[in-house]
Amino acid sequence: MLGAWRIRLWLKRRQRARLDRAAHAAVAAFPTIAQRRPHGLATPLIVNLTSYPARYPTLAPTLRSLLDQSLAADRTILWLAHQDVEVLPDAVRQLESHGLEVRSCDDLRSYKKLIPALTQWPEAIHVTADDDVYYPPDWLAGLVGAHDPLRPSVIGWRAHLARASASGVLPYREWEMATARTEAEPGTALFPTGIGGVLYPPGSLHPDVRDRAQFTALCPQGDDIWFYWMARRQGMRHRRVDGWIDFIEWPASQQAGLRVDNIERDGNDRQIQAMEAVYGPFPL
């Protein structure tokens, strides 16, 4: 048994190394797509992300992957706190000639990736991305392809499946992580995670989504939780793209992030409990 486990681990590490090499090669060859397809949507399509100086060393590779998509967004915007713009690396600034927009806003931490964009372009389809991930060329096309204007949903490439017991939603650690399900069944909920990117149709989030005092108090490090809740308050369901991407995170970036506190220190459970105290039980 131990031998079989070691073989599986070795194969997994080997595949990961291969994907990592492919990701580095792709961003090194940027740009690789000469002609990008128009999205054909009735509303603007905007890709948003945010970052901060501790993550700048690996920001340019992520941006290159977002700008090298087979499907063309109308805008790709990097949202930064006012004080963080002046220390932006040249490698990022050079990408402005490839369509990147750099915009400054109040320091809303991770919420910068969506709140300012919602305020400025409420009629657009907004897609969020993380700043420490390689996004393969058909990533955006997959999200847009899963969007149905007649049956709008919040859509992600990667999601966890939340389950409940008689006493309420189970602790975050007990959810089905990175589920293969594309839709939730009764008594469960699909919870998109930022790493895979999330598509928000126009009007898919409750107007309270921009309530800075509330999200700062209740979910200071849990924007995924806040955005999930605001979608459910708006009557919106969540779906996952019918497909799979093994997302590659740039190794150095993981030294500065929210995942350790939110997962290893039960930060997500604390923030979910804070939301339940104000808005009621976790919405399934």
Check whether 4 has a pLDDT greater than 80.
Answer: no
Q: What is the pTM of this model?
A: 0.94
Check whether 50 has a pLDDT greater than 90.
Answer: yes
Instruction: Judge whether 131 and 59 are in contact, CB under 8 Å.
Output: yes
**pLDDT 10s digits, 249-266:** 998 655 555 555 555 458
Check whether 16 has a pLDDT greater than 50.
Answer: yes
**pLDDT 10s digits, 167-183:** 999 999 999 999 999 99
Average pLDDT over residues 213-228: 98
Mark out the alpha helices in the chain (DSSP H runs). Answer: 2-28, 59-67, 82-85, 90-93, 115-120, 139-146, 212-218, 223-233, 259, 267-279
Handedness of CA 258, 250, 129, 9 (dihedral sign): negative
Query: Given this model, what pLDDT does residue 14 score?
Result: 83
Looking at residue 143, the DSSP 8-state letter turns out to be: H
Query: Given this model, what pLDDT does residue 263 score?
Result: 55
Query: Given this model, what pLDDT does residue 258 score?
Result: 52
Confidence of residue 268 (pLDDT cuts 50, 70, 90): very high
CA 149 remoteness from chain centre:
21
**pLDDT 10s digits, 54-80:** 999 999 999 999 999 999 999 999 999
CATH number of 2-279: 3.90.550
Looking at residue 185, the DSSP 8-state letter turns out to be: P
Radius of gyration for the alpha carbons in the chain, expressed in angstroms and rounded: 19
Q: Domain locations in the chain?
A: 2-279
* Region at 266 (left for phi over 0; alpha for psi -120 to 50; beta for the rest): left
